[in-house]
Amino acid sequence: MTAGAFKLASVLLQYPTAAVLADARDAGGGVLAAEAARLPRSSAVPLGRFLGWLGSTPSADVARHYVDTFDLRRRCSLYLTYYRYGDTRKRGMAMLGYLTAYRAAGFEPGPGPGEAGGTAGGAAGTMVAGGELPDYLPLVLDFAALDPQGARLLRAHRADLELLLRALREARSPYADVVEAVGAHLPGLRRSDQALVRRFWESGPPAEEVGQEPFAPPEYLAGRRADIFPTEMSLEASR
């Protein structure tokens, strides 16, 4: 049941193909709709809503919406490590965490993109099969449909998923329904997750800290020592 929901979400969160769209439009009830209907209400309802939108929206609009939402908007990134690690050097290690999970479950990284057949040239294979990064949500969901470790991986990144959901809701994207359906098959947010969500929702992804230690005593930088510089400077510094 859970596996089915993850798999369905994995398919739906990828760039729409003509086949997916045709199925969604099948008036007699397509495979996708049937699959969704077999799920518990908590995920069947949002997925049904999404499939309804997919089936009734011109394909060009679906494609544009997808590109606008996932390709051109950072806050709706499908790469889960981005939310908590942003553009910092920790992100590479976080991605490796995913890779390690896959490997622990017995999956070896496959060929990277542009290396059909897996004959890695000068550069090594960079991605798991399919030419994607290891934290790409459809890929993680594909894994979760395959192996129970996947659900654990998603639980560990519950906050990231929630941030994506919030961003999609804020952008009024129908894709929010798909992410909501995934969430329905995971435990609710723990207190620590909620704190993370609050923090990153307000501040965005974190900034790099390496090499940015202050060169002066903290009280100087914070502008508390008002006696040592003129007013305008203290304003400037305490900004």
Partner 1 sequence: MAKAVPGRASDQAGPDNPGPGPDDAGRAAPGGRGGDLLAPLLPAGEPVEQLLRKAQYFVPGGAPSPDFREVHRIGGRGAEAFYRERWHHDKVVRSTHGVNCTGSCSWKVYVKDGIITWETQQTDYPSTGPDSPEYEPRGCPRGASFSWYTYSPSRVRYPYVRGELLQFWREAKARLGDPVRAWAEITGDPEKSARYKQARGKGGFVRSTWDEVTELIAAAHVHTVREYGPDRVAGFSPIPAMSQVSYAAGTRFLSLIGGTILSFYDWYADLPPASPQVFGDQTDVPESGDWWNSSYLILWGTNLPITRTPDAHFMTEARYRGQKVVVVSPDYSDHTKFADDWLAAAPGTDGALAMAMGHVILTEFFRDRRVPYFADYVRTYTDAPFLVTLREHGEAYVPDRFLTAADLGDTGEGARHKTAVLDAATGGPAIPNGSLGFRFGEAGLGRWNLRLGDIDPVLTLHGRPDGSAVPLDLPRFDTGATEGGTSVRRGVPVIRIGDRLVTTVFDLLMAQYAVPRDGLPGEWPAGYDDAATPGTPAWQEAITSVPAAAAARVAREFARNAELSRGRSMIAMGAGTNHWFHSDEIYRTFLTLIMLCGCQGVNGGGWAHYVGQEKVRPLAGWQQMAFALDWQRPPRHMTGTSFFYTHTGQWRYETFGPDELASPLGRGLFAGQTFADCLARASRLGWTPSHPAFGRNPLDLCDEAARAGVPVADYLVGELAGGRLRFAAEDPDDPANWPRVLTVWRANLLGSSGKGMEYFMRHLLGTHDAVRAQESPETLRPAEVIWRDEAPRGKLDLLTAIDFRMTSTCTFADVVLPAATWYEKHDLSSTDMHPFVHSFNPAIAPPWETRTDFDAFTAIARDFSRLAATHLGTRTDVVAVPLTHDTPDELAQPGGRVPDLLAGSPDAAPVPGVTMPRLVTIERDYPATAAKMAALGPLTETLGSSVKGVTWVPGHAVDYLRRANGTVRGGVADGRPALTRDVHLAEAILALSGTTNGEVALQAWQELEKRTGVELTDLAAERAGDRITFADTQVQPRAVITSPEWSGSETGGRRYSPFVVNVERMKPWHTLTGRMHFFLDHDWMAEYGEGLPAYRPPLDYRRHLGELGLAQDGRPEITVRYLTPHSKWSIHSEYQDNLHMLRLFRGGPVIWMSPADAAAIGAADNDWIEAWNRNGVVTCRAVVSHRMPRGTVYMYHAKDRHLMTPKSEISGWHGGSDNSLTRLVIKPTHLIGGYAQFSYAFNYYGPTGNQRDEIAVIRKRSQEVEF
The residues in 107-146 that bind partner 1, with binding defined as CB under 8 A, are 107-110, 112-115, 120-134, 138-139, 142-143, 145-146
Q: Contact with partner 1 (CB under 8 A): which of 89, 152, 198, 225?
A: 89
Instruction: Give whichever of 137 and 196 is closer to partner 1, judged by the CB atom.
Output: 137
The CB density around residue 135, as the number of other CB atoms within 10 Å, is 25
- For partner 1, the closer of residues 191 and 216 by Cβ is 216
Distance CA 72, CA 211 (A): 30
Q: How many residues bind partner 1 (CB under 8 A)?
A: 95
Position 200 contacts partner 1 (CB under 8 A): no
Query: What is the rounded distance in angstroms from the CA atom of residue 112 to the CA atom of residue 107?
Result: 14
Neighbours of 234 (CB within 10 A): 17
Which residue do the tokens 């192996």 mark?
147
Per CB under 8 A, 27 contacts partner 1: yes
Nearer to partner 1, 27 or 216 (CB): 27
Q: Which stretch binds partner 1 (CB under 8 A): 20-28, 41-49, 176-184, 190-198?
A: 20-28
Question: Of the listed pieces 38-46, 100-108, 193-201, 219-227, which binds partner 1 according to CB under 8 A?
Answer: 100-108
Output 128 or 159, the one with its CB closest to partner 1: 128
Which residue's CB is nearer to partner 1, number 39 or number 190?
39
Structure tokens of 178? 């798909």
Which residues between 176 and 195 bind partner 1 (CB under 8 A)?
Answer: none
Nearest partner of 159 among 207, 94, 102, 100, judged by Cα: 94
Cβ at position 183, least distance to partner 1 in Å:
20
Q: Which residues ranging from 52 to 81 are in contact with partner 1 (CB under 8 A)?
A: 55-56, 58-60, 62-64, 67-68, 71-74, 77-79
